[in-house]
Every structure is written in structure tokens, then in C-alpha cells.
Chains A and B, each alone.
Chain A
């Protein structure tokens, strides 16, 4: 196996934390402060994209491909243009001179760039691909226009099997590339072969992690107003408004300074809305063409079929294990089941690359080796969703560890504890990831106590005698978080990330904070105000946080990958500490004492030991802005600072356990309870953290048991409505119990670690392992795919009863090298 180590050389920069003092005076950090955001939402005054109405606004609808793979012979606009109220019909040719392409890549030598027209009206590569835009006086009329377009397809053979797509002779999505595979990456650390030779056991598994998606309750939407002076305002339901500006200005041929992106109310993002979508270019282009504001609101069909799918990775794993359960080494091959093109800008590598990078998780192994392939198929593009590829990677690894535990007769908790790295210390994993201390074992033991594990095992044995089958599924996780440059590199993405914050004391002493992150449910206007209040020493109520608009907040990259608490929080601590120093110096100067003698708390600067020598923030603000000669000479009037922060690698951790009962006859799984313990270092607001855990776990339940973006072999999309794409509702999600351990990061500002995604990383496999545990008395049960619904449970039970491996497919996977060499020969 060729070994390449292009990334993660272990020389990652670890910037020092500089705002240590903030935690020493904490008053708000760690408190359950109620959300500032709520009253607007509770009264129906949230301002989502579809709530925006502009004078003269027209409405767009898209013609979308009904074919997975076809040449478009013609699109006849005649009947559509003849309809009353239809203003324009736009196809790719109409935009050739005005709209540039997207070039999408991950900057690594192994990755090929894919460049494509943003509106391709000549070739359809998946069901749902935009082929034409109809602009009309209303959405109803625009859809009438779409209906009246006559399309002639020349059907081509679809590429649906991702593994066959890698073989020579497969039909190609991009014949000019000569391959469907835009990335082949290999990595190895330690002597993998030696470990596998030495091992008492070598286990192998193929796990096909299913395709599911964020499907936020508010679908996407774009409004563009390209006015006569050449200024473009875009409203987009995005969690990265500044990146929308940066990435679309080029194809649109406009300066970023002339472009404003507003993403005020966003009804859920979950990583899906952290991409740059074709419509974010096409709707501005349509507005420019028709000379009026144009609105497009994604409907649920478009959202399901044609926004972004996630998580589908075929994983081949091998583990070298000793008789006593000691893990020696892991090997993996990850095939990311990509769609028609790499989603912009992260590409479908956002699933297999993090999945592979985190293969060792927190197991103390000697060697690791992995490879990745990234075939494109005739499906909706694959991109980020809460927990990205850590979910499929984790599901594959942790189902396999349960298989091994059963095979070796070791309790699934014990085998994990046995192989766990130590708690509380910095640790460099075999791949070079730098963990900043965690409660890996302690979180498992905490959950063990929460569920009375030993008692539950006893109950399980008793119930089995009555013909009832409960199961317990363990899923301890480590989550790379706070997406900055170093953690990105540790996960294979060689790019720079940061975020920024400005902290300003206004003349009246109130405080305005802006950040480049994005608030869409995570309560930033509350939690970041808590950070600001403690950083400055001012009341929470005096602070307003502004995000979500490129014109009113500082530039930054947005909110995704569990980053904002650390990255924006850190930037606020840094900027706020600077402002605090200015305030203290100003107050000291005004009260004629030295800065060391000033106490700044609750918005008052007082002289230590002299209670009546006090200045309010209003007095300080007025002094700074309008005090003229009374100010410190050589200082500027503004009381503001802007700082950015690109944190070192940081990792949160925890454990989820699911308890299920399986109805053997019907395969129905009743998820009875979820217990979890999480550790995200310094907590900003435990109520919000609990909410993030609850929501992420529920989404993982969907991915583990319900949600499946299935295609048939001919490339038709089978989950095109919410009658078939099954969101968990109140009756599918049990009560979720959350406990906390705080192991502050040893490296970040304030010891904060990121959180928010772990539930979706870890809960699918908690459910899967619980199901397997419940039905394991029926034979050799192995979970080989997700999601697992009642039909799958019955299939496993039938296979187990027939004496074969209780799973599908029953074939034993070839080893990773054989697979790679076969592929190399084929390629």
C-alpha cells in the first residue's frame, strides 16, 4: 500500500490562550440564562427569508430533471412564455455570458477539481437537477410555467452503484475526466502489517451507512435584488452569509463590496445550509436579467431531492484484536457515495475524510491505515450535515466493536474501557490528532450509573425468559470541534479557518457585539452576550449581539462544525479584553488612580476600597466619545476592538446509551430511553447545551432508524415527500436524559470546547447497537447498514434463524488490501 502523509504532520500551531482572566470573574458563563431570541419567535415575528416582501418582486420556480442521467435534447419555452404572468424562462445558454462556473475542490494533491456550469441545461446528472428557471408574477404562475415547458430527454445509463462506479468500464458522469472518482487518498501510521500479523484475531466488516439529510423545517430560499446602481442584496436561508458573498461574487462578476447577504431568520441549518448552492447564484442572475427582485423558496420536494444529501459512506473495516479484547490496529476503506458533483465548497469528502481521519477515535491503538475513494453517482450531491462523516465512521466502528465484544464474550462497556486512552490528559493519537483532555472513561461510567447498567442487564435476562427482548446500545464518542485551521487539517482539509468579533461600547454605555458566525437556533444572542458580559464586566442586559448580515456584522465564515462557542467566544474574549483594558485605563485616568486600582464589574468602574469613587459605563462611554481633552491624551474616541480567533485543535467527548425493546414478530423497535453524558469543557449555558444534545440525538435517531434517501437501481428518487422521508416525531423520540462533566480544554480561550454535533454522531449507533443487543439471542446478529427499520430487523432475524450471518449482505468482505489492489488493477 502506498503511504502518503500529506497532512497532519504533528506540527500544528497551537496559539496560546490569552484571555484566561475572564473565567476568574465569571458571573454569567455557566448560567441558564433564558434566551434573548425567544420573544420574537414566540409572537410570530421571526424574519425568515419567505417573510421578506419587496416592491415589484417576482417569483421563480425551477424546472428540475425527471431523469437521473440524460442528455437534454431540447427545452421548448414556447408554451410557458405564452402564459399570462410568466415573465421569463432562463436556461443555461441564457447565462453563458454572465455567470461563471463553480470550481470545486479540496486542496490536496490527491483531489481533482470539478468545474461545471451552474445552470446546466444540456446534461442531467440527477433527479432534481435544475434545468431552467421560470420567473413569473407569483409562485403559482411560475409553477404553471414550469409545467408548460416541454423537455426532450435522451436517457443515458445511470451510475448508481458507488463501488461499480469505481471500476473500469463504468459509465461516466464526466467523460472528459475519464473517471467517476475525484479523489483517492491513503494514510498510514504505525506498523499496521505487524499488528495484524501479531493479532490473535482479525475481524472484518462491511458497513453501508445510509443516506440521510438535515431537512431543516424551513427549506432553503433566496431573494435577490440587483438594483440599477449595480448593488446586489441577497437574502438567503444560509448559515454562512459571508461565504455566500465570497463564493458567489466571482461567478456573478460583482465586487464583494457591492454585495450584501442577509440571512436573518433561518429555520434550521444543521450544516446543510453551510454550503454554497446553485440557486444562490442563479436567483441573483435572474434578478439581473429581469431587472426586478426575484424570490425563490425551496419547496419540500426540492429540499428532499435536490438540496443536499449526507452521510452515505460504504465502510470496510478490519481490526487486529487480542484474545483479551486489546485492540492493536485498525484498517479502513471509505467509499463516499457522492452525487452528481462535489457540493460547493466542501465536496463529498466531508463524509469519508472525517470518517477515516477519526478511525481510532479514543482507542489507544498502535497503528492505523485507511484509504478513501470519492465516486460521483447520479444522485443528489453529498455534503455536510451535523456530525459530517464522523457519523458513518463512528457507526461502522462502534457496531463492529459490539460484534467483536459478542464474539469474544466481553461486555461492550468493558471492551471499550479496556482500550480507552486516559482521562484528563493531553494525548496525541496514533493519527496525530491532539486531544486536549477529556472524560472518555468517566463519561461511560457516569452513564453506566444513570441507567443502572448491571440492574438493566439482569432485567434483560429475566425479560428474555418471558419472550421479551430489550437491548442496550453503547456509543461513546469524541468530537473534533471548533472548526479552525488546525482541526480542519487534522481531519484532512488543508484550509484556513477563523472567525472574528467586534466589541463596541456605545456612547451611552450599552454594548454592541458583532461576529461573523451565524445564529439559527443556537442562542448566540444569549450565550455570546454571556461571554461578553463576563469579559467586560458589564450586565448581560446591556449587550446586544448582531450576526446574520454581511452589512452589519464583521466578516467571518459562519456557524458550522460546533465552532461558534469556541471561535466567536474566543474572539469576543480577545476583543472584549482589549476594550476592558481601555475602559479601565480611561476610568483610572478620570478618577486619578492607577489602572490596577480599578474594579470593573456589573457595568461600574470603581476604585478598590473607595466605594463612592465610581463611574458608570454611560459616564465612561460619554467620556470616551465626547470627553475631548478629558480623555487620555493620544487615545482615540472609539471604545471598540475587533479580533479574530483560530483556535488550536480541541475535542469534546461523551457517551450515549440507547435502550430499546424489539417486537420480534413485527420487527418494531420501541426506543425506550436515551441517557447521555457530555463533556464540552467550560459550559456557557447548560440549558442551551442540553437543547443541542436533545436535538442532535433526535436527528441521529432519524438516521439510525427512520430516514432513508433511497434511490432505486434506475436512479429514481424514492423519498420525495415527507410521507416517505420519515422525520422522527414526538412519539419516536423518547425522553432524553443528559448529564455533564466539565473537563476544560487545556488550549482554547476559556477552556471552551465545541459541541452540538455529537448527538448526531453517536446516537445512530447507540440505537443500532441496542437493536443488535436485543436480538442477539437469535443467532449471529451483525448490523451492516443503517437505517434499520422493522423490515430490516425481520430480515436479520430470518437470516439468523436460517443459520447464516444475521445480516445483509451475508458475504464476508474481502480484505482492504485485496480490494485496493483489485481497484488499482481496474483503474
Chain B
């Protein structure tokens, strides 16, 4: 059965110029369709704060925010983020000052090797945006998709609690 519908776009594997807003700045880069969003951010735009841990959507190291929602950028194609608003770890500190969540992670020893940290920070930002006063159980549930191999999560949970408290007092 052949189609009679006028197909607007035929599939191609051509490289294309992608535009997206990253941390409030309009950026462009070139990608073929198969390029993963994390590779586009890290290698095409050279924002290497977002990390690659598993490339199959389990560990959360590549967590960024796309249009306000936390996503795993290793299981999203860059082409799917055309025109999106993206937030990465590089956008958290303002005017050279660590933000409240970043400060809390330092204060409460929420990081060791630092590799999971960017993803943890972004997931924490989303958690606190959705739920400014989370219980320990809610924190653990929300962050369960972000693996840390160093801290046993004890410092991370405390960091999120401290950040929530700090934000609520602000």
C-alpha cells in the first residue's frame, strides 16, 4: 500500500545545524541525527560539566534540564532538543557565586570525586522546584535515578535538606 499523503520531510541522515538555548545563551552546533544530546553538549558546544556514565539511561550522570524537566541527555538525540531551553551545571552559579544548592553540597560533603555531582545538582534543583520541603523519603525517591558511587548518599541527602532549609528561609 503506497501513501497518498504529502510527506513534508523525508528522513535523512544529513548533518544539520541545531539551535538551542543553553543556560540562557543561544548556541548553535552541527550534528547528524544519531548524535546524542550529551555528546552535542560536551563535544560540539564544549560544555564538559555534563558527564557520561553509562550511555543507557541508568546512572544519571548526564542529567540536564530540558524545558524545565530533568532528562538523561545520553538517551535523547540532540536533534530532539532543537529549539529547547537547556540548563546544565555551568549555569547554576551566578556572578561567580555558588548557588544555595551548590553551597549546601559543599557544606554537607555531598560530593567526593565530583563525577555524579552535576547531575545530582540539576536533579536537586528540579526536586526543590517541585517540592520545596521534601521529606527524606521524598528526596531518596526523587534522586534514586542518580547514582553516586562515592558518598553512600548520606552527604547528598543532607545537602538537599540543607538547601531546602536555606531556600525556605530566603
> In the complex, A35 Cα to B116 Cα: how many Å?
17
| Contacting pair A43 B98 (CB below 8 A) | yes
- The answer to whether A795 has its CB under 8 Å from any CB of chain B is no
- Contacts A41-B111, A42-B105, A45-B49 known; A727 to B153 CB distance under 8 Å? no
| Contacting pair A35 B144 (CB below 8 A) | no
| Contacting pair B98 A733 (CB below 8 A) | no
| Contacting pair B148 A217 (CB below 8 A) | yes
- Which of B43, B48, B121, B149 makes the CB contact (< 8 A) with A270? B149
Q: Can you list, as one digit per residue, whether each of A687-700 has a CB less than 8 Å from chain B (1) or not (0)?
A: 11011011111110
Min distance, Cβ B143 to any Cβ of chain A, angstroms: 5
> In the complex, A694 Cα to B116 Cα: how many Å?
16
Complex interface: chain B residues within 8 A of A735 (CB):
136, 154, 157
> In the complex, A691 Cα to B89 Cα: how many Å?
23
- Contacts A43-B98, A688-B109, A722-B58 known; A731 to B114 CB distance under 8 Å? no
- Contacts A41-B117, A43-B93, A53-B43 known; A731 to B144 CB distance under 8 Å? yes
- The answer to whether A51 has its CB under 8 Å from any CB of chain B is yes
Tell me if B's interface is mostly helix, strand, loop or mixed. Answer: loop
Min distance, Cβ A342 to any Cβ of chain B, angstroms: 26
> In the complex, A536 Cα to B93 Cα: how many Å?
35
Q: Can you list, as one digit per residue, whether each of A671-715 has a CB less than 8 Å from chain B (1) or not (0)?
A: 000000000000000011011011111110000000000000000
- The answer to whether B73 has its CB under 8 Å from any CB of chain A is no
Residue ID in chain A nearest B139 by CB atoms: A730
Residue ID in chain B nearest A702 by CB atoms: B149
- The answer to whether A345 has its CB under 8 Å from any CB of chain B is no
- The answer to whether A46 has its CB under 8 Å from any CB of chain B is yes
- Which of A40, A51, A216, A694 makes the CB contact (< 8 A) with B155? A694
Looking at A71-79, A516-524, A634-642, the stretch in contact with chain B turns out to be A516-524
Q: Can you list, as one digit per residue, whether each of A210-246 has a CB less than 8 Å from chain B (1) or not (0)?
A: 0000111111000000000000000000000000000
Q: How many residues of B contact A (CB 8 A)?
A: 58
Min distance, Cβ A55 to any Cβ of chain B, angstroms: 13
- Which of A42, A269, A270, A736 makes the CB contact (< 8 A) with B152? A736
- Contacts A217-B53, A730-B157 known; A687 to B109 CB distance under 8 Å? yes
Residue ID in chain B nearest A304 by CB atoms: B54
Complex interface: chain A residues within 8 A of B56 (CB):
300, 721-723
Q: Can you list, as one digit per residue, whether each of B136-150 has a CB less than 8 Å from chain A (1) or not (0)?
A: 100111011111111
> In the complex, A140 Cα to B59 Cα: how many Å?
21
> In the complex, A215 Cα to B53 Cα: how many Å?
10
Looking at A105-113, A260-268, A431-439, A447-455, the stretch in contact with chain B turns out to be A260-268
| Contacting pair B59 A722 (CB below 8 A) | yes
Residue ID in chain B nearest A269 by CB atoms: B113
- The answer to whether B63 has its CB under 8 Å from any CB of chain A is no
- Contacts A44-B50, A48-B115, A217-B113 known; A521 to B121 CB distance under 8 Å? no
Select the residue from B46, B88, B140, B144 with max chain A CB neighbours within 10 A: B140
Residue ID in chain B nearest A216 by CB atoms: B149
Q: How many residues of A contact B (CB 8 A)?
A: 58
- Which of B52, B59, B90 makes the CB contact (< 8 A) with A50? B52
> In the complex, A34 Cα to B144 Cα: how many Å?
26
- The answer to whether A629 has its CB under 8 Å from any CB of chain B is no
Min distance, Cβ B79 to any Cβ of chain A, angstroms: 14
| Contacting pair B48 A727 (CB below 8 A) | no
| Contacting pair A268 B113 (CB below 8 A) | yes
- Contacts A42-B98, A42-B102, A50-B48 known; A690 to B112 CB distance under 8 Å? no
Residue ID in chain A nearest B121 by CB atoms: A42
- The answer to whether A94 has its CB under 8 Å from any CB of chain B is no
Complex interface: chain A residues within 8 A of B149 (CB):
214-217, 268, 270, 695, 699, 727
| Contacting pair A218 B53 (CB below 8 A) | yes
> In the complex, A35 Cα to B147 Cα: how many Å?
21
| Contacting pair B109 A267 (CB below 8 A) | no
| Contacting pair A140 B147 (CB below 8 A) | no
> In the complex, A140 Cα to B39 Cα: how many Å?
10
- Which of B49, B51, B143 makes the CB contact (< 8 A) with A267? B51
Residue ID in chain A nearest B117 by CB atoms: A41
| Contacting pair B59 A43 (CB below 8 A) | no
Residue ID in chain A nearest B154 by CB atoms: A694
- Which of B55, B109, B152 makes the CB contact (< 8 A) with A299? B55
- Contacts A42-B117, A43-B49, A216-B113 known; A694 to B58 CB distance under 8 Å? no
Residues of A within 8 A of B (CB): 34-35, 37-46, 48, 50-51, 53, 140, 214-219, 265-270, 297, 299-300, 520-523, 687-688, 690-691, 693-699, 721-723, 727, 729-731, 733, 735-736, 759
**Can you sample 28 A-B contacts with CB below 8 Å?**
A34-B106, A41-B114, A44-B88, A48-B48, A48-B51, A51-B42, A53-B46, A215-B149, A216-B149, A217-B51, A217-B113, A218-B61, A268-B150, A300-B59, A520-B113, A523-B112, A690-B109, A695-B150, A695-B151, A697-B152, A698-B152, A721-B54, A722-B56, A729-B143, A729-B144, A729-B147, A730-B143, A735-B136
